[in-house]
Amino acid sequence: MWTRRHALVGLAAFSATACAGPNAHRKGASKEESNLLRSAEIYWHAVRWADAERASVFIEDPSQRLLYKEWLERQSDERRYEETTVIQAVIGDEHDKPVDGRTREAVVFVRARGYELPEQILETWKVKQTWYRTATGWFVEWEDPEGGLEAYKPETGPGSEDTPE
């Protein structure tokens, strides 16, 4: 009985280390991975429910954050998510000195299921995102697919499409 208990404890310890993932043996990686996974889950939950305000918290640059909110609101008119699942996060090594304020980078893999309007055909998408860590937390690397501020045209007034040149 005593030997059997030790064998089970040993097997449980081996299983825990074998399933810990690719980042388990790096210093501080398990805590960082946990923080990143939690951030990614919060972000994707907000995306799933089209909560642009909450999702935009993970966009670091304030001007990009504004563009992101507008983009996500337009995107949610075209695409609806039924389910989003963060599958895995692969965290890179920590930088000795921050590079552009970033101390670490990671790749997050997500499976999303939903449909686009007007077709309404259920689809599954696989998403690969780059995230980065700063002194204040984890952020999504996001570029505006519509060209960012360079392509921005005001809706009214000088420079708008409805103003004759």
Check residue 146 and give its pLDDT.
78
Structural domain includes residue 47: yes
Give the domain range for residue 133. 25-139
- Dihedral (CA of 22, 25, 31, 32) sign: negative
Domain containing residue 112: CATH number: 3.10.450.50
Tell me the mean pLDDT per 10 residues along the chain, length 165. 46 41 53 95 97 97 93 94 96 93 97 95 96 97 79 60 57
Structural domain includes residue 9: no
Structural domain includes residue 164: no
Check residue 67 and give its pLDDT.
93
Structural domain includes residue 149: no
| 3-state secondary structure at position 95 | coil
Domains in the chain, number: 1
Structural domain includes residue 146: no
Check residue 19 and give its pLDDT.
42
Taking the C-alpha atoms of residue 24 and residue 104, their distance in angstroms, rounded to an integer, is 16
Structural domain includes residue 89: yes
146 CB-contact burial (10 Å; exposed 0-12 / middle 13-18 / buried 19+): exposed
Structural domain includes residue 162: no
Check residue 144 and give its pLDDT.
86
Contact 122, 139 (CB under 8 A): no
Check residue 23 and give its pLDDT.
44
Check residue 160 and give its pLDDT.
61
Structural domain includes residue 158: no
